[in-house]
Amino acid sequence: MEKRQEIGIAGTVAGLALVAGGAAFGAMLSRRHKGGSDDAPLFTRRKPGTDNPILGRTVTIRKGRSELYEFWRDFENLPRFMENVDEIRKDGDARIWVIKAPAGQTVEVRTEVVSDVENQTIAWRSVEGSDIETNGEVTFADAPGDRGTRVSLVMFYDPPAGSLGRVIAKAFQREPEVQARHDLKRFKMLMETGEIATSAHRKDNTRKAKQQENEQ
C-alpha cells in the first residue's frame, strides 16, 4: 500500500520536474559546457553521494531545428508526449501546467518563459509561490550531416519542505530522470513518425487509457 503511494508521488514529481526557480540553476546552465577539465555536460558528472537535482538528456531527432523549436514553443503541444502533464494552458504571459498528482488529483504550477532564442533555446521557471520550484531549458543544435537536430533537456527542481517534500525528494533520486528520458523519446517518436509507439493490443489497453482509469 505504502509502496503504491510512493510510486504515485514519484510519478507526479516526475511531471513537476519538467516544469522548469533557483538562482543556482541559471548559473548551472551557463557553466554547462565548461563545468570542469573536460568537455562533457555538467549533468554527466559523477555525483558521489549527493542528491544532485540537476538532470539532463540529449536525443537526436531527424527534423530541422526550426520545426522542433516551433513545436516545443507551442507549449500546449507538450502534454502529447509528457506523460504526467495533463494540460498546459495560457494565462496572460504565464502558463499553467496541470500535472497529475496521487489519488487522481492534479497540481497546477504557474510558469513563465525566461529565455527564448529562436531555433536555439527555450527556458522556463516556476513563478514564486509554487509548491515545487523547477526550472527547465531545452536547446536545439544542428547534428552533423542529415542526422537532424540534437535536442537537450536540462532540469532543476527544489522539492517542498515538510514530510511530503521528503517523500518527493526521495522519489526524485531516480524517477524524474527516467521520466525525462521517456518523455524525450516520445517527443522524438512523435516528430519522426507522427505517432507514439505502443504495443497495446486494444485502445483501452494503452498506458494513457490505463492512467485515466486509475484516476477515476
Partner 1 sequence: MRALAWHGTHDVRVDTVPDPEIINPRDAILKITSTAICGSDLHLYDGVIPGVQPGDVLGHEFMGEVVETGSDSTLEKGQRVVVPFTISCGGCFHCKIQQYSACENSNPAEKQDMSASLYGHPMAALFGYSHLTGGYSGGQAEYVRVPFSDVGPIVIPDHLEDEKVLFLSDILPTGWMGAENAEIQPDDTVAVWGCGPVGLFAIQSAIVMGASKVIAIDHYPNRLNLAKQLGAETIDFRKTDVREALMEMSGGIGVDAVIDAVGMEAHGFAVDNMLDIAKQKIGMGADRASVLKQAILAVRPGGRVSIPGVYGGMTDKFPLGALMEKGLQVRSGQTHVQRYTKDLLEKIEDGTLDTTFLISHRLPLEDAARGYKCFHDEQDSWTKVVLKPDMSAGEKAT
Interacting residue ranges for partner 1, rule: CB under 8 A = 60, 62, 146-148, 178, 181-183, 185-186, 188-189, 192-203, 206-207
CB of 60 to partner 1, least distance (A): 7
- CA dihedral sign, ordered 38, 180, 146, 120: negative
Closest CA to 88 of 138, 140, 16: 16
CB of 184 to partner 1, least distance (A): 8
Return the number of the residue (110 or 185) whose C-beta is nearest partner 1: 185
The minimum distance between CB 39 and partner 1, in angstroms, equals 21
CB of 51 to partner 1, least distance (A): 21
Cell (9 digits) for 6: 510512493
Buried b (16+ CB within 10 A) or exposed e, 113-126: ebeeeebebbbbbb
Tell me the C-alpha distance between 21 and 44, whole Å: 21
| CA–CA distance, 215 with 98 (Å, rounded to integer) | 14
Of 27 and 200, CB closest to partner 1 = 200
46 or 202: CB nearest partner 1: 202
Cβ-based nearer residue to partner 1, 66 or 198 = 198
Are 187 and 83 within 8 A, CB to CB?
no
What is the number of other CB atoms lying within 10 angstroms of the CB of residue 213?
Answer: 9
Report in angstroms how near the CB of residue 174 gets to partner 1 at its nearest. Answer: 11
Residue number with CB closer to partner 1 (59 or 94): 59
SS3 111: strand
Q: Measured from the CB atom, is 192 or 215 closer to partner 1?
A: 192
As a whole number of angstroms, the distance between CA 91 and CA 109 comes to: 11
Residue whose entry in the numeric block shows the C-alpha cell 509548491: 131
Smallest distance, partner 1 to C-beta of residue 154, A: 19
